[in-house]
Structure 1
Amino acid sequence: MGIAQLESARLKHWLVVDTINVPALRFHLREAAIHSIVQPLFLGSQFEHLLELGPALIKLDSESHFQTLVSQNQQIRSNAILFAFESSVNEAAIFIHLQQLLYIHINNQPVLFRFYSPQFWLNTNADLLESDKLTILGPARKLIWCDDEETMNAITREASQGGAPRLPYHLNSPVFDSLLT
């Protein structure tokens, strides 16, 4: 087993899917032999009244399950990202961090943030400040998305980088200014 495979085996992998654009999500997971609970990310949040419209969180066994899903299904490829967390990070902390990302502040204005859109990452990754990437990652070690050519892209952080971002999350990259207009 290579170093990358060993590291991946030590991590917990969580898929975040835009369920509006993947209405047959449960079917696609069964088809890929993934038997995980689908947890609505709006559950218990200020957006709970929109539960059926919000993203879902699914625990995967490995990064390779994500690669299989996106290679087999264009809907998932276009509407899901994967976070990888150290195994020491508890599931409640993961859920809370991802919920906090839903409602961020840009220039001190609250904004609903669709961080789970691969298109967002394809369009903005190169223009994000490192501090914003670390805020978005939070306790995660890696965030992965796939482009239309099935190329895996990622932002990562070292275990020693960053601490818990302050709440509410504030993002300062100039690229976010377009979200306010």
Structure 2
Amino acid sequence: MRGLALAPSLAILLTLALPAAQAQPARAPGARPAQLGAFQAWTAATHMEGGQKVCYAFTRARSIEGVPGREQNNVMLVVTHRPGGRDQVAFRAAYAFPRNAEARLFVGSTELPFYTSGDTAFARDGRAVVAALRGGREALGRGPGPNGRGQATDTFGLNGFGQAYDAISRECPAARR
């Protein structure tokens, strides 16, 4: 399942995103994520996973609505390149989606379907999402609230996405066939 493959990246991403003042658990040398750059609203970074480099770009939600108790800092949109798959896109909602829920990402008039697992929604077609993100100004992630009550809407700024995406694509180029 592609979504489960993104779970380690989200864990690493959360580690990268923690303020430097917070205590970090002990890690093996070289296990920390390495930032490639900050590009307006987006950050590009890499980490090692199973001895292979993984590249990802992420942004935090500019605003969140509909589900009380969430921290805006924990709501993120992530694009990941792995040796076995490119353009893996997920958004973390910071609450558990109902089982078998569907979520959507809206970029302008484009509606993109996502499936959910735990507190994360995963794109059904990452390439289509990346193409929409490149051409948009903001993205709205929408999904059912916990236990199917209400709806959450998270807004992500897209300024700098193209530069962050280009940075991860240079660092983790597509395999030649």
TM-score by length of 2: 0.34
Determine which structure has the larger strand proportion and give its number.
2
**TM-score of the superposed pair, with normalisation by structure 1:** 0.33
- The answer to which structure has the higher helix fraction is 1
